[in-house]
Amino acid sequence: MRALLLLLFSSAALAADPAVIEKGKAEEKRSCLPCHGDRIIHVQRLSRTVWERELDKMVRWGAVIQEREALLEYLTANFGDDKPTPPPPLSADGRAKPQQK
């Protein structure tokens, strides 16, 4: 039980560490954004487990992720399933852009 609590608190501390989040953001730029626009990533609201699966899938498809834990912390902290849904993109006149099919 103590080990579980320690793990839980250490995970929370890691997620709250701004240096880890910044490292994850840099890793997103290096390993994700060459193939994806940031919006496709940033509109997702996935649990940590599902983000892990997404990273596994991207690695199977050829992505090279050097700072996996930092990237996972960044994605979970900013785009986790506990975060509010982002607003739709707006056109220059302030209207919602039509959905692309």
Taking only the tens place, the pLDDT of each residue in 33-70 is 999 999 999 999 999 999 999 999 999 999 999 999 99
Contact of 45 with 79, CB cutoff 8 Å: yes
Total-model pTM = 0.74
The DSSP call for residue 36 is: S
pLDDT of residue 99: 62
Q: Check if the beta carbon of residue 74 is closer than 8 Å to that of residue 52.
A: no
